[in-house]
Structure 1
Amino acid sequence: MPAYESPAESAQPTATGGEGVPVVHPLELTSGVVKLTRTLCDVPSVSGDESLIADLIETALRELGHLEVVRNANAIVARTTLGRAQRVVVAGHIDTVPIANNLPVRVVGEGAYRELWGRGTVDMKGGVAVQLALAAELVAPTRDVTWVFYDNEEVASTLNGLGRLSREAPELLHADFAVLCEPTAAGIEGGCNGTVRVHVRVPGETAHSARSWMGTNAIHAASEVLNRLAAYQPASIEVDGLVYREGMNAVGIRGGVAGNVIPDECVVTVNFRFAPSRSVAEAVDHVRSLFHGFEVTVDDAAPGARPGLDAPLAAEFTEAVLALTGGVPAPKYGWTDVARFAELGIPAVNFGPGDPLLAHKDNEHCPASQIEICYTALRAWLTA
């Protein structure tokens, strides 16, 4: 379809100034949730470089008189303090994976078929825009709300801003229920898979490549690791009524000393996505058993989260949202920070605009209608 820009959206929120310096305008939280999504996406915020977008969010929220605002590094927490019987956390991360020539955002199509194309439109600035628009609008929600905007979600779990908040200021996250605005195509996705990343080391012995028989080629020997992965049959495991699909994949490989040297080491990096019925320890044991005979070192790990849809507030939220959007709850295959809320004893669900199958892809794009649906559904529940 041809590109289309409405008059309200035709002005780019960011532009390139002298010597490549971005010119950034303040966030207009009441400009409309779709336009706000575009504005947020056009502010680059690759993991580790979120200070600019965090500054913009903090400034905009501090102008609202009904919220208490706290900043922790590049995470922003804004809370109502109305003394309601229940408190809900609504959270989203403000970082993205690296840009791939897919900014500034393009608007494609018209009317009900309008789409935003560009980095962050799916994962997950559409969800962040929903948060910000509602944070500005809902002066007196029927439940107290804690709006959380955090950094470094797309990198190692040790850097995660929500994890840092849970360690350094856990009182800011106290709640009866949490909604994580990760992309779900405007549906409800319960729980999440866990993740373990390991390095599988294959040893060899160096030699001159002209006399290769004097050594042992570690890269050649790594074929055994790859063969085991190719033969591996991932499981689909039902947990509390939702079926989670597991996966075990090589995601990196390194080896080699020089162009004329037989390599004495090859390391295959493997990522195991496991159902939330397994603990991290059980997942690591499973990986080690698959690569028995090789040295396996754990690089990163995070537990999954069971669906938790039977918790009263989770059930109430799910019923209210699905009454507007239709569909049935589904499992979240990727890892998300609902797992951190689960560790804190807070029931949580994933709910946000954007097809998760498009997350991190160069052609990332999101229907404007999904952003509007999520805004409408979350607003209805918080004001019911």
Structure 2
Amino acid sequence: MADTLDLAADPVELTIALVDTPSVSGDEKHIADLVERALREQTGLEVVRTGNVVLARTNLGLPSRVVLAGHLDTVPINDNLPSRLADGILHGCGSVDMKGGDAVMLNVAATVTAPRHDLTFVFYDCEEIEASRNGLGRVERELPEWLRGDLAIVCEASQGVIEAGCQGTIRVEVRAVGERAHTARGWMGRNAIHALGDALATLGAYESRIVEIDGCTYREGLQAVKITGGVAGNVVPDEAVLTVNHRFAPDKSGADAEKYLRELFAGYEVTVTDLSPGALPGLSAPAARELVAASGAAPVAKLGWTDVARFAALGLPAVNFGPGDPSLAHTKQEHVPVEQIRHCRDVLARFLGGE
């Protein structure tokens, strides 16, 4: 476990130090202490600590501001610490989600000393657990001025490609009601599980809606993720509940998505259990165009929900940009190519400092 962080070091070495500092959600104090101490050693940064959130920013009076955000927590360790570096691949819990991105941010904070935009760095806790504990949400409620700017970059894993905006997500419970009876006289009841047949057929016939926004292609999804019902082995069930998750393109509002599902499952009782609107790409913003140019590659749509949506709701164009394959997040095999870490650092340094 690291005792200090050298923010100006190779960002790969910095990633190793962060990965080897366990920080499972709710236990981020040590890593937050390290980050805070290292940022306070830099010149020209205002640093604030609230709980296990560490905030830092420049105040150069520049006409625009870029916010960079990354969470410090990981999912529980799965026999994948300490880190291991082999053949240009760094293995370990959090290497993808998202300590590689955190290392890039910290290195930029120390090495981009003459930025073209004022910079804000947000290192927050509890992203991997219930949204009510998410440190970014706490900053939004208690220190909203720290989330103001012209572009937000969430350094979540994106394989070193700019992922613009994000999908929205909504979960609903589709409930069917029947009437109990003994299975020996099943005709005297109404089977609620059977009554979900039409809803399941609707899901089976679903065809993805594909939407292009700002050159980014979003593909919607609709999946049953859980089904419950049944009383006993000899009883016709009187209630069954199907849980459905809909991932929707950011041209839809949360209200649009809810309306769509209520119409799709007309005749059933539909209850919304979770709803997070998406984020439009926002690539027409000047700072976003500069970032795309610095990356040298075409941006793509983010097929999933990330905290960019929180920034978009505040009026900031927001993108995901960080090292690592997001499909490896939360797995025992989590690993990141070291060249992606360096690539992301170099792109941000070009964008922010004109290197």
Fold shared, TM-score > 0.5 on shorter chain: yes
**1:137: which partner in 2?**
111
d(CA) in 2 for partners of 1:213, 1:38: 65
Q: Which runs of 5+ in 1 are unaligned?
A: 1-12, 14-23
Change (3 A) 1:254 1:191: same
The amino acid across from 1:228 in the alignment is T
Change (3 A) 1:63 1:333: same
What SS class does the counterpart of residue 306 from structure 2 fall into?
coil
The amino acid across from 1:375 in the alignment is R
Deviates more, 1:337-346 or 1:216-225: 216-225
Question: Which of these residues, 62, 66, 75, is aligned with residue 40 of structure 2?
Answer: 62
The amino acid across from 1:286 in the alignment is Y
Q: Does 1:179 align with 2:157?
A: no
Q: Shift of residue 220 of structure 1?
A: 4.5
Conserved? CA contact 1:185–1:355, under 8 Å: yes
What SS class does the counterpart of residue 353 from structure 1 fall into?
coil
Q: Does 1:225 align with 2:195?
A: no
Change (3 A) 1:37 1:215: farther
What SS class does the counterpart of residue 284 from structure 2 fall into?
coil
Q: Shift of residue 117 of structure 1?
A: 2.2
Q: Does 1:353 align with 2:327?
A: no
Question: Which of these residues, 236, 246, 263, is aligned with residue 289 of structure 1?
Answer: 263
Q: TM-score, normalised by structure 1?
A: 0.83
Give aligned-pair identity as a percent: 56
**1:94: which partner in 2?**
72
Conserved? CA contact 1:157–1:301, under 8 Å: no
**1:305: which partner in 2?**
279
Q: Shift of residue 237 of structure 1?
A: 0.8
Change (3 A) 1:34 1:228: same
d(CA) in 2 for partners of 1:342, 1:80: 22
Q: Which runs of 5+ in 2 are unaligned?
A: none
Deviates more, 1:270-279 or 1:129-138: 129-138
Deviates more, 1:60-69 or 1:234-243: 60-69
Q: Does 1:105 align with 2:60?
A: no
CA RMSD between the two structures: 2.4
Change (3 A) 1:301 1:155: farther
1:130-176 C-alpha deviation (Å, 9 max, x unpaired): 11122233344332210011223334444432222222211111212
Q: Shift of residue 98 of structure 1?
A: 3.8
What SS class does the counterpart of residue 288 from structure 1 fall into?
helix
d(CA) in 1 for partners of 2:24, 2:206: 34
Which residues of 2 match residues 178-257 of structure 1 at below 5 A?
Answer: 178-206=152-180, 215-257=189-231
d(CA) in 1 for partners of 2:152, 2:191: 51
1:83-139 C-alpha deviation (Å, 9 max, x unpaired): 223221111122233443333333232xxxx11223322222111111112223334
d(CA) in 1 for partners of 2:119, 2:345: 15
1:38-61 C-alpha deviation (Å, 9 max, x unpaired): 222233333344334323322332
Change (3 A) 1:140 1:198: same
d(CA) in 2 for partners of 1:206, 1:44: 51
The amino acid across from 1:73 in the alignment is G
1:234-269 C-alpha deviation (Å, 9 max, x unpaired): 111112222101111122333445666554433222
**1:331: which partner in 2?**
301
**1:164: which partner in 2?**
138
Deviates more, 1:133-142 or 1:280-289: 133-142
d(CA) in 1 for partners of 2:229, 2:332: 28
Q: How many positions carry a matched residue from both structures? A: 354
d(CA) in 2 for partners of 1:77, 1:101: 31
**2:5: which partner in 1?**
27
Change (3 A) 1:262 1:61: farther
Which residues of 2 match residues 273-284 of structure 1 at below 5 A?
Answer: 273-284=247-258
